[in-house]
Structure 1
Amino acid sequence: MHSTQVLIRPMVSEKSNDLKEVQNKVVFAVHPGANKFQVKNAVESIFNVKVDKVNIIRRQPLQRKRFGRVSGKIPGYKKAFITLAAGDKIEFFEGV
């Protein structure tokens, strides 16, 4: 899998912004078949930073219920919490 296919998008939320400022971590939605080594290599090659640690979690798909009946499905996804080395940064929306 090519490194541009591994990272899907950055996950931007209040929690991910706090992690970025306090613990120097960034959060990405990643390809469901990607592993930690592929994510680490993709981030290092695309953003030219050093990665210390990668944690991956997977959210299961959920059934959407309305009035007690199942009316669809909320898709699952995989996301990676990436700890960067001291002094390295990835800026997404600076100057906006």
Structure 2
Amino acid sequence: MRADQIIIEPVLSEKTNIAREGETKKYTFKVRMDSNKFQIKAAVKELFGVEVADCNVMIVKGKPKYSRGKGGSILGNTGDWKKAVVTLAKGASIQAIEGV
């Protein structure tokens, strides 16, 4: 699997922006469900040219979706997805995400 196939997109929210601006640079990415920590570390190193200190991976469960017209009956769920929180080595940062 290529590096650009493993990392789907960065997760940009208020909480991830605070983690990114702290002393320890932590970046959050949406990744493929079949990828593991070692593949994610290698992909970040290859794509952004930074040294990765640590990588934490978790699966985010999908949320239920309701219909409005039929008394609030459940139509289904949004899909599950995998999230990776990558901690960079001291002094490193990813310039492509810093400007966003």
TM over 0.5: yes
Structure 2: gaps (5+ residues): none
User: Partner of 1:86: helix, strand, or coil?
Assistant: coil
1:14-93 to structure 2, matched below 5 A, reads 14-22=14-22, 23-66=24-67, 67-91=71-95, 92-93=97-98
- Aligned residue pairs total 95
Give the match's secondary structure for 1:75: coil
More deviation, 16-25/68-77: 68-77
Give, in angstroms, the shift of residue 69 of structure 1: 1.3
Partners of 2:85 and 2:63 in 1: how far apart? 22
In 2, distance between residues paired with 1:31 and 1:74? 16
The one-letter amino acid paired with 2:75 is: S
Q: Percent identity?
A: 36
Shift of 1:93: 4.9
TM-score by length of 1: 0.90
The TM-score, its normalising length taken from structure 2, stands at 0.87
* Bigger proportion of residues as strand: 1
